[in-house]
Structure formats: structure tokens, C-alpha cells
Amino acid sequence: MILITGGAGYIGSHANKELWKRGYETLVFDNLIYGHRPFAKWGEFVLGDLEDLDQLRLVFKTYPIKAVMHFAAFTYVGESVEDPQKYYANNLKNTLNLLQVMLEFEVPYFIFSSTCATYGVPQEIPIPEDHPQDPINPYGRCKFMVEKALEDYSRAYGLKYISLRYFNAAGADPDCEVGEWHEPETHLIPLVLDVALGQSEAIKIFGTDYPTEDGTCIRDFIHVTDLAEAHILALEYLFTQGQSEVFNLGNGNGFSVRQVIQTAEEVTKRKINTVEWERRPGDPPVLIGSSQKAKRILGWKPKYYELPVIIQTAWEWHQKLYRDFKNLR
């Protein structure tokens, strides 16, 4: 059985579905602060918090857990700057709680949901895994600290882990069973689609004077189902090779803010109003990752790498979200 912490959230729910499709038994462990109970559609579900060591021990005692995929984390960069204690307590301390109980119950395999935010401001593009890590906010620092803890735990206790550093997760399950549902929403594509649906008047473009072709930031958008696929390949790599590793997960291509808006207009066939705004502090002009290592070692082959396809799946889900879950929002 695979334990999925944060499995009722955006990426965790997609990973749960892909595991289920491959015949794995899964257990979702989520406190539902940001997750959604309807997203835990596959396997079993336990409502719980990683802060509670006794509850964690009961879960490991009750279920035959073979490996852990750890998605549970707070992910708002701005909030992490305003309230770092919240992030160090949840993203760092609670992860150490989880690792402690894994060691107690001799569960040896751990897949960690990390982030490109551990790199900080990029010194080269595309960013390779051996790029210096110098995170510039508490969110990135928490993830960085967990990565370092995993290195130490691997050396000292034999824990086998893979850290997956995501770039910009986007899109939704092509079957439209789960998708992106954040409150509050901060990601570009769903905010753009809010405008297309008439839920917002305009999308803010933060900075139009960057040294890019159209003056707006360029980001690396990777489809969430491709991310989920990478997690399963990483898990099976640990099962067969037993070697700890770190991998970037990105598209390898960058799309500017204006490109995203234009593509969304083409997909939705609706006009999307924009408002030009000041730059946000700390936003690098270009953020693109190299995923060649994951492709070479894991055999990862992203299927949904074209921007119109990513946005089409997001658009189909976004319409369903407002149609079927509007009363829950």
C-alpha cells in the first residue's frame, strides 16, 4: 500500500489516480485544510494531520504501508514571507514527524514533492539539478531543508528517497475527474480562466518590461498528469534500483504570460481582459528547468507538453468546477 499525504490536493489526487490505474493500493492522508474530500476518489481515506504523531503511528500500525508519497505542504510563497512560522511548522517539522514514524515502522521508500523554488534566482537556463540551491523565501527554504534532511537520513538510516523538483504544475486530469481547485487561487492559468468564465473582470500582468520577447515573465508549465506519471516512475525506480536521487520535472520549454493569455483566448474562444501592473519582487524574467535527467534515468516521457493542450484540459475542468462544485467553493 502507498501512503499519499496531501492526496486530496491538486497534484496528490492526480498521483493517486495514476497509482490506482496501475493497480496499486493507496491510502490518502489529508487534513483537508486545502485539500478536498471529493478528490480522494481512489483507495482509502484517513482524515488526519501530520502534527499528530500518535495518529500517524496508528495509521502505520493499521495499514501495510510500503512507501510514502509526500505532497502535504502549504505552498503560498507570499504567505510564507508574512508568516514563516506556519511554514516551518507544517512543511518542515511535520515532514520530520512523518520521517520519524516511517523509521519506527521500517518503511524505506519516500517520494518527496519538492520545488524549483529551492534554486532561488537562476544563474543559468535551463536549470539543471546541480544548479546551486539558494532559496529566497521561507517556502523554498523549507523544501530545501527537507531535501538536506533526506540526504542525512539516507546516509544514517538507509532511507531511500527521490526528491522531485517541480516547475509550474498546470492543467487537469484529461478525464476531468480531478483538477486544480485552490482557495485562494494564485496560479496564472486558472486565474486567466476565471476571466474567461466571467468570474473576474481582468487578469493582472505583473511586469511588462522584462528582457523577454514580449516583456512578460516566461515560465515552465508542466501538465499535472505528467507530474503524476513521474512520481510513479520514481517509486518504481526506488523499488528496483533502491538508489536515492533528485530530479527536475518541467516542460523544458518556456511560455510567457502574454502567450498563456493569448492561448487561453484561442482555447476558450473568449476575450480575456488584462491590466498591466508593477513587477512583483523576486520574480525572475525566465524560469525554465532541464528535465533531461528524469527522461534519461526514469524513462519519463511527458505526453501533454503543448500549451494549448495544457490549457484545454484546464478549461474543461474549470467549467466543471464552477458547474458542479460552485456550492462548495
Identify the active-site residue in 10, 139, 153, 304: 139
d(CA 18, CA 23): 9
Cα–Cα distance list, 94 to 53, 56, 155, 273, 296 (Å):
9, 11, 21, 41, 33
Count of residues in the chain: 329
d(CA 307, CA 323): 24
Cell numbers found for residue 117: 523554488
Q: Is 139 tagged catalytic?
A: yes
Q: Which residues contact 232 (CB under 8 A, 6 or more apart)?
A: 15, 18, 19, 22
d(CA 187, CA 147): 24
Query: The cell 508593477 sits on which residue?
Result: 278
Beta bridge partners of 249: 166
Residue 94 region, left (φ>0) first, then alpha (ψ -120 to 50), else beta? alpha
Between helices 94-104 and 138-157, what is the axis angle to 10°? Answer: 20
The catalytic residue positions are: 139
